Every structure is written in structure tokens, then in C-alpha cells.
A and B are shown apart, each in its own frame.
Chain A
């Protein structure tokens, strides 16, 4: 989004979600179910780690040679009859799309899922300019009807319960009040969206992979909505970030094996569509290449690998913080671990709390199909944010105090002593006060009787004696 975002404080944005305990658990369980399916699929491929290695190397290579591959892609796509557009930022991307629609007197578009258009705020922009925008992915249609944003990049409506979908459909699609059967609700959406597909004048899709050596592009869906959306109208507009390239057609084999398995635990998506040029001589294929901050990330040695992301969402499904706090708490187009790396790269101030919404458990790094060292990058972001003085004052002061304490052994020992004593005697009302946010949902530990120093001083002589005796014998 191009407008200035409010500065997000993840803990306060997550408060409502985490305090609704049953719902937080329900969300956690839903995503863990997806994560388990992913594990099963990953384990069914003996060469899984080999594939991850290959994918990571291919992506590192592509991002390094990005200018060459972009030009190669442009030349090949143009040769096939597609029109390639370049957009430096979100605003320009939106303008290009609108201009294409205006030129063709378009009033209604059908759109399949694209996190890039979400990032650019395309829907709002087009609607403001009088275009009817219909998201055709069921999950996206649900959040669109509810006036929300997706809370997950693969499962946009994962935060919504079927009863709530029932209410939304009752209100907008006229289904029976109280209907909550997913089968019935999906059927209603199918009928509703059929009409939209048939009246759509232009189909807009995202791009999962673009291929430099052929000039083609690949779109993966389970619902077939991208295909229905672009094979009826005459014009197909495909919007993609410049990092979506792979060098060779054969590289798709690696990525199509990894993507759906990592995302939803399926062996491949139901439809993996390959577009090489427009449908026929009467049709148009427009490809919009968008930078919007990506080239800046590429400049950074530390964060460059985040451009390898193929948007499978596996890091979100496994993240203990994401699973319990919900996608909306990140207030970013891409939430979860990868979103917490990309967000501050776009706007460090607005997203400064996101790298801290992480326990550094490393699970995201373990599941990432392209081996982005996500938790290392999140830690690296913390250092950057401290350097930029973008860390909350209480955290900064606490760190300063801790650093002072660690540098003064006497003070450290004294603080330890007072800590142990006061923990023993102070009433809970004093230790669990409103200034101690750490203790909000935790109990403080039972204080040990003595410090490690004291214990060591007591135990060292005999230990040393044993050692020297052994040496003598």
C-alpha cells in the first residue's frame, strides 16, 4: 500500500486474538494440521533435502543475475506476443493496470489470488476508479465480501469460522440463515462466481513462476479460478514481482515439486498452468514487472535471500507466534516469519516490532523450501533496528541496564542476591504488576537457594582435588 501505514505494535495488535483463548487454539490447530500434511509430503520424497538445496541455489543464482534474466524474459515474452510493462513502485503498477482497463473500456474484472496486487493495493485503487473488482479465489472472495484483508498468503480466510462464512454468504449471496456446511457454502460461491467469470471483461492473475529462457509464466491454483478467469475474456493481465523468475523451463520441475507440498501438503496443485503468449491473435497478454522495493532488498547481503521466497506460506503454518496471534496482528500484506523480514525492509519504522514477534525457534528456517535462513534474518533485523534506534525505549533502557550489570561482577552478584531474596518474600501483587509485561501470562521462576557462583565456590575444592588425584594415579 502506498499510503503511510500506521506504526504497528505487534503485541497490542495481537492482544484481541490471543486473549480469545478458544479461538487462538482453534487457529493454532488448523495451521498445525496443514503443517502436519506438509511433513507427510516432505517425508514421502527421499530427495526432499536435495530439492531444497537445488531450489536455493537456483534462486541465489537468479537473484544475482536478475538484470540479465529480466531482459531475457522480456525479449522472449515479447517474441511470443505478450506486452511487458515495468513498474518501479506500487503506484505505477496500479496506474499501468488501470490504463490497460481504460483503454479497453473495462468495467468488470475477475482476479485470481496475487499477493503482489494485494501489496500494491490494486483492488482499492481500481474500485476508487469505478471498476468492479471480483476476487475469485474462494478464501479471498470471503474476505472481500467481509471487507477484510487476507490473514494468510495461501489460506486467506484461515482466521474465519464456517459459521461466520455462513453469515457473510447469507447476507451477500442469499444462502439460508445459519447455514455452515462448507459443501453447501462452496456450492453457493460456485454459482455466484460463475456469473462473475462470465461477465468479467479482463482477467487479472498473479504469477508463481516466470521463465527467462522461454518467456512464459506459470500460475498454480487448486480451484481453477485463474484459468476460468483468463480463458473467457480476451485480455489477461499478469502482475509479478521481479523476483519471480527462474532461468530455465526445466527449473520448474524443482519448484512445482516443492511449492504445493510445502504450502498445503498436496503433491502438486490441481492446476499448474503454463502461459506462453496470448491465447490467439485476437487476445492480449500483458505482464507487469514490479520492483516496489525488491531491488533495494537485493542490495543487502544480509537480507538478499528473502527474495528467494516462493510464497508457499510454510513458515507461517509452522510459526508458533503466527499460529497463536493470527495473520492480521502483523498488519502487513505478507505476515508471519517471511513477512517480518520483508515488512521492515519496505518500511523499518512502520514494521519495527515484527522481527520481535518471533521466539527464534528456527522452525521457519527448517521448513522453508528454498532455505531462506529466516530466523537468522529476524535476528539480524533486530540488530539493524537497534542501530536505527527504532526499538522501544523500555527495551533499550533494559538492554543498557543489563549491559551495565554484566560488566560489573560485584553489582551482578548483588543484584542476583536481591533478586533471589525479593522473589521469595515479595507478594505476587507486587511482582505481577502492570509494568511487568513479561509476567502477564507467566509465573516467575522459583528462586534458587544460592547463586551458581556460591555453588561453584562450595563444590570446586573437592572437584579439583578429585581431578588432581586422578592425574596422580
Chain B
């Protein structure tokens, strides 16, 4: 930190400390007061659909492959990154890539998610499971695999489940990349994935 900056740090803190303000207690969320769903699976699927994602119920990893084979843009995909090799064999060896820029031509990325949230269709992806974090943002299409037993009701349960975050990166993904910046018309596929497929294993 430069001298000027450490000065500013002191100035800001002094200014703030110069005005003592009474603080209310930090509240604790009462779990009984936040939303729960009778059927989390149904809720998750409905919410995901409402944010532009597609949910598929599958029983085995090979079913994921079969479902993907029915999608035209998957059939024609040439560069596929996958961290779920028992479902989809990657065509790009992520271990040999040093520079994330090399992933700019990815057609598909298939990754594992830690859990899903029924209230908003979001899926938590732990950055530690990604050899390159850009792979989930730069691919044209994204598929996430989670387990049906890992569906939570709401964001309070979600943050409790993450607990104390490890150093690094984590992201809630809810639907494909989208924008409504041109006259409020919703367009899927702004910069990131054009579509999001979510596979729900048992």
C-alpha cells in the first residue's frame, strides 16, 4: 500500500470512528419462517424452466449421454469439456491447458453441481471442481449434473450447506446467460451459455 493510500485508510477509518452509532443486534433467520416446499423436485424443475433452463430426470450417467445425443447442437459439437467422464467423454483435455483463452472455442461443457435450490432454480458449482473456471462461462452450451437428493428449499439452507467458503470461487447458476437490455425483450445467450441443461440423477 502506498503512503497516500495508507493515509486514506486512516482518514476513512477516523472519519467513521468519529461518529459512534448505536447498532441493533444482528438477527438470526428463523428457519420456521422461510419457505419450504412439499415437492422440492417439482418446484426446482418448474423454477428452472421459468428462468430458461431445462431439467431432465435420469437414473444413470449413460442416460445423460443418451439424452444429450438427441440434442442437435450436441451431435454437432466438436470441442467438449467434461468433468463428468462417466456421462460424457471429453474431447478437450483440460489438464493440458494452461491458458484459459485456449478454451474460447468450447462448444459444450458438462460439469457437476453440488446442490440445487428449489426456490430459484439455482445450482451451486464449487470452483474447486473446475480445472478452469472460465469453462462454464465461455462454452456455447452448458450441462450441469446434480443429484435429486441434493435439492434444498431456499437460500438460507444453501448458505448453511456451504458453511465457511474455502478460498477460491463458487457460483450459483440459475438458467442460461440472458439479457433484456434491448427493450426488455428477453434474449437467451448473452455472453455465456445459450442454453442450460440440468440432469438430475437419483
The residues of A with any CB-CB pair to B shorter than 8 Å are 30, 33-34, 45-47, 50, 53-54, 57-58, 60-61, 63-67, 70-71, 80-81, 85-88, 92, 96, 136-139, 142, 155-158, 160-162, 165, 182-183, 185-187, 189-190, 193-194, 197-198, 214, 216, 222-225, 227-228, 231-232, 242, 247-254, 256-257, 264, 266-277, 279, 289, 291, 295-296, 298-299, 304
Contacts and interface: CB of A to CB of B under 8 A. Distances in A.
A66 B16 contact: yes
B184 interface: yes
A16 B149 CA distance: 57
Given A186-B187, A223-B177, A250-B156, 13 more contacts: A46-B35, A61-B24, A67-B13, A70-B13, A96-B5, A155-B181, A160-B183, A224-B177, A249-B164, A253-B29, A256-B155, A270-B173, A272-B171
A447 B34 CA distance: 55
Given A256-B172, A267-B121, A225 B190 contact: yes
A232 B22 contact: no
26 contacts: A30-B183, A47-B34, A60-B23, A63-B21, A65-B21, A67-B16, A70-B13, A70-B16, A81-B167, A92-B4, A136-B191, A139-B179, A157-B181, A161-B183, A197-B191, A225-B191, A249-B165, A253-B29, A253-B155, A253-B159, A267-B120, A270-B51, A272-B174, A274-B171, A276-B170, A298-B19
B38 interface: no
A273 B24 CA distance: 29
A56 B129 CA distance: 35
B137 A295 contact: no
A94 B13 CA distance: 20
A291 B178 CA distance: 33
7 A-B pairs with the lowest CB-CB distances in the bound complex, closest first: A224-B192, A64-B23, A139-B181, A267-B120, A223-B190, A64-B21, A86-B9
Contacts of A264: 180
Given A58-B26, A60-B24, A272 B191 contact: no
Contacts of A158: 184
Contacts of A227: 133-134, 137, 171, 192
Contact of B27 (A57, A231, A266): A57
Contact of A269 (B25, B156, B159, B174): B174
A186 B21 contact: no
Contact of B35 (A33, A45, A269): A45
B100 interface: yes
Contacts of A214: 164-165
Contacts of A271: 137, 171-174, 177, 192
Contact of B190 (A70, A156, A222): A222
Nearest to B11: A88
Nearest to B10: A86
Contact of A298 (B11, B16, B34): B16
B182 interface: yes
B27 A157 contact: no
Contact of A92 (B8, B24, B165): B8
A223 B167 contact: no
Interface of B: 1, 4-6, 8-9, 11-13, 15-19, 21-27, 29, 33-35, 47, 50-51, 100-101, 104, 119-122, 132-134, 137-138, 154-156, 158-160, 162, 164-185, 187, 189-193
Contacts of A189: 190
A88 to B, nearest CB: 4
Contacts of B191: 136, 190, 193-194, 197, 223-225, 228
Contacts of A254: 29
B134 A138 contact: no
B13 to A, nearest CB: 5
Contact of B185 (A136, A162, A249): A162
B16 A276 contact: no
Given A162-B182, A256-B155, A299-B19, A274 B35 contact: no
A257 B138 CA distance: 26
A63 B4 CA distance: 25
A379 to B, nearest CB: 22
Contact of B137 (A47, A65, A160, A224): A224
Nearest to A223: B190
